[in-house]
Structure 1
Amino acid sequence: KMHFHELIVVYLFHYVHCFSRNANYLKPINAASPPDYFDWRDLNAVSPVKNQGSCAACWAFSAVANIESHIKIHLGQSLVLSEQFLIDCSVERTGCKNSTVLKTFAEIVYQFHGVLQESDYYPYSDRAEECRWNGINPKPVPVIGFRRVFPDEAVMMKYLYQYGPLSAAINSASMLNYKPNTIDEPTEERCSSSPDALNHAVLIVGYNTYVSAEGRKTPFWIIKNSWGREWGDGGYYYLVRGRNACGISNDVSFSFVD
């Protein structure tokens, strides 16, 4: 197994720029106000944390985690889908290099018409391989659409509560030194919110607000990462909410399953 500091050197060398300016935004919904606290893990709707290792395929892990959650929420099925399938069979032959979650969703919906289960392909190998799917069989698990969410954290809360976890691009600079069981409150200088600084993809599964003994309130996102359970809080990351920290609201999307 590659140690975390080694993973970071390899991962940032590849530099995954998970952002696209071309997708249409999904406008705010007129839903009831979401509760003060919500976490899809409480409803057993989040699949286990995975480890992308030295392969810079955050886009595949974020997209697959999103689809796994939405299948559980909307279809009641617990499936393990294949990141390796996406890495190997991407039309652009992206492999362990640059791509975006939105491009991945587009390929899944319009090219593959879904995602293969891990049991129907090959286990994750931490590297790009030749595509071993013939385009017909096995049949992919259907994914029928995807949408990009309006870049506003209050809107994101509504969509997360109403539909399910959200894939998000993020500047990972502050994640590299994250201390478990803390809420990360990086300055703009330490972790730019610029769209051009986005270099990683994660899954937002919930939100909460921490209240200190002095009464100071710190709202935060609950974020599933793909650097293994040894990183962060069992693979999770808590990021301050409401100030677009590290660009968390710039590029947010989710899938539709059937």
Structure 2
Amino acid sequence: MPPNSLSFLLLICALLIAPIQSRGFFGIPGDYCSTRTHTCCENRDDDCTVPILGDHLCYCDMFCDRGPDGGNDCCPDFEATCRGRDIQNDQRIDGESCSMDGETKEKNCEKCTCQNGMWKCDGTACLIQPDILEKLHTGRYSWTARNYSTFWGRSLSDGIKYRLGTLFPERSVQNMNEILIKPRELPEHFDARDKWGHLIHPVADQGDCGSSWAVSTTGISSDRLSIISEGRINASLSSQQLLSCNQHRQKGCEGGYLDRAWWYIRKLGVVGDHCYPYVSGQSREPGHCLIPKRDYTNRQGLRCPSGDQDSTAFKMTPPYKVSSREEDIQTELMTNGPVQATFVVHEDFFMYAGGVYQHSDLAAQKGASSVAEGYHSVRVLGWGVDHSTGRPIKYWLCANSWGTQWGEDGYFKILRGENHCEIESFVIGAWGKGSKRRRRFKMRKLRRFKKMFK
């Protein structure tokens, strides 16, 4: 080949490749991420690829969300499959023609079958509902939504069963006496992390186990023990021990009662997470108790399942109920630390990405099959007022237990002062046992609370 011809060919190749390098693979038709067995990958994963344009590879991992320069090597359908920003490709294929009767195909969480030349889907309600997601993206709401890859392909009933996990409190617990709180001047914004810093523990991840009853109880205990001891105790208490060992009249990874969780941590105590690590998020099972009650009376002391030498068990006082009055919850939180709140999670909450959450009726408009709810317990860390929508919206700042990839780095805001989703109905606080700090309530009231948990 003559030198001039070779130079011309190299120039043509460079011109063809340059747009790919500078603008990525955008605009190239086809299915890429959607063809993977695990469509998308969390965080950075260099093996999360699909072939494109012959010898090239495009990516389907969350590293593609790293900003305006992050999409050059991402698959064309990354936005649609992994983040739900182009919902047209996510719609059901009901009614479309197919060529081979009996062929099956999965679309999101639905199983579709080719029948008489037409696709027929089973109608299962999915945890990520693309049509609702699209309306949340384009409508005027106080919060934004996202298509989480960890939730894509999961059924709504599966999410309610394994991502929540607090059973509705029994009547005797609902009627707990409320403590008396002395009012104080309250700021417009408050964040426990600003006041107590590293004494407030990070966001947990309960995984595929309905264990919010255990995770939130140990989370509040960890925070309050650190605060009241002024940092001398700063352990993350083991939600796994509570989940595995507090099984009397509890349902493990399918839910539990808060009063029984608090009873266990008051009577026996719970070791640190380093001693009894959390594993139920992967197994979906509470597992066998590896620190049985008899070990608490053993002269040799408790033995850590992890092999760690520090098997200190921490106890809490009986929990107390905080009034549902907005100001009382704020005063309690600002004075004594994060509180535990139980609220109703609706189907759209799983798609929350940021802003002030307010439940929409979009699923109800579709029909009863698209609606589901369940109770969930979280830590409330503070409050504030959002002005981004042009009108002030009061909110509670909460730490969820779905990991830092969800919401605002694992946190969320929810409408404050209107008992939205029952967030203000059942708020709980407790103290580390043995503390010498003066209580704000008298001991006779403490004894009254004890009677509720015998």
Return the letter of the residue paired with 1:204: V
Q: Distance in 1 between matches of 2:363 and 2:180?
A: 30
The C-alpha deviation readout for 1:165-199, integer Å capped at 9, x for no partner, is 1111111114222122x1112358979xxxxx651
The answer to whether structure 1 residue 129 and structure 2 residue 251 are counterparts is: no
Change (3 A) 1:120 1:17: closer
Q: Distance in 2 between matches of 1:10 and 1:82?
A: 25
Q: Distance in 1 between matches of 2:278 and 2:237?
A: 10
Answer whether contact 1:115 1:143 (CA < 8 A) is retained. no
The answer to whether structure 1 residue 166 and structure 2 residue 324 are counterparts is: no
The C-alpha deviation readout for 1:25-54, integer Å capped at 9, x for no partner, is 323411322222111111213211111111
Q: Distance in 1 between matches of 2:238 and 2:340?
A: 17
Answer whether contact 1:74 1:257 (CA < 8 A) is retained. yes
Q: Secondary structure at the match of 1:29?
A: coil
Q: Who is 1:95 aligned against?
A: 252
Q: Secondary structure at the match of 1:94?
A: coil
Alignment of 1:100-249 (within 5 A): 100-110=257-267, 112=268, 114-126=269-281, 127-135=285-293, 136=296, 137=302, 138-173=311-346, 174-180=348-354, 182-186=355-359, 199-212=375-388, 214=390, 216-249=391-424
Change (3 A) 1:74 1:130: same
Answer whether contact 1:145 1:257 (CA < 8 A) is retained. no
Change (3 A) 1:213 1:139: closer
Q: Distance in 2 between matches of 1:186 and 1:51?
A: 23
Change (3 A) 1:188 1:40: farther
Answer whether contact 2:183 2:328 (CA < 8 A) is retained. no
Answer whether contact 1:82 1:124 (CA < 8 A) is retained. no
Q: Who is 1:194 aligned against?
A: none
Task: State which structure, 1 or 2, has the greater radius of gyration over its C-alpha atoms.
Answer: 2
Q: Secondary structure at the match of 1:66?
A: helix
Q: Who is 2:437 aligned against?
A: none
Answer whether contact 1:171 1:199 (CA < 8 A) is retained. yes
Q: Who is 2:132 aligned against?
A: none
Q: Distance in 2 between matches of 1:213 and 1:13?
A: 34
The answer to whether structure 1 residue 48 and structure 2 residue 176 are counterparts is: no
Answer whether contact 2:219 2:236 (CA < 8 A) is retained. no
Change (3 A) 1:165 1:159: same
Q: Report how far residue 9 of structure 1 moved.
A: 4.7
Q: Distance in 1 between matches of 2:292 and 2:265?
A: 15
The answer to whether structure 1 residue 70 and structure 2 residue 224 are counterparts is: yes
Please give the root-mean-square deviation of Cα atoms over the aligned residues, in Å: 2.5
Deviates more, 1:71-80 or 1:19-28: 19-28
2:172 to 22, 26, 36: 22
Q: Who is 2:161 aligned against?
A: 13
Answer whether contact 1:18 1:99 (CA < 8 A) is retained. yes
Q: Secondary structure at the match of 1:145?
A: coil
Aligned residues: 249
Q: Normalising by the residue count of structure 1, what TM-score does the alignment of the two structures yield?
A: 0.87
Change (3 A) 1:125 1:17: closer
Answer whether contact 2:398 2:412 (CA < 8 A) is retained. yes
Give the gaps of 5 or more residues in structure 2.
1-41, 43-148, 297-301, 303-310, 365-372, 434-454
Answer whether contact 1:208 1:221 (CA < 8 A) is retained. yes
Return the letter of the residue paired with 1:160: L
Q: Report how far residue 66 of structure 1 moved.
A: 0.4
Return the letter of the residue paired with 2:244: D
Change (3 A) 1:79 1:190: farther
Deviates more, 1:42-51 or 1:8-17: 8-17
Q: Distance in 2 between matches of 1:220 and 1:27?
A: 23
The C-alpha deviation readout for 1:209-234, integer Å capped at 9, x for no partner, is 123474x2211000100001000000
Q: Distance in 2 between matches of 1:188 and 1:149?
A: 30
Change (3 A) 1:71 1:250: same
Answer whether contact 1:68 1:81 (CA < 8 A) is retained. yes
Return the letter of the residue paired with 1:170: F
Change (3 A) 1:62 1:36: same
The C-alpha deviation readout for 1:97-142, integer Å capped at 9, x for no partner, is 22122321122113x2x21111222343423111010331244112
Change (3 A) 1:17 1:64: closer
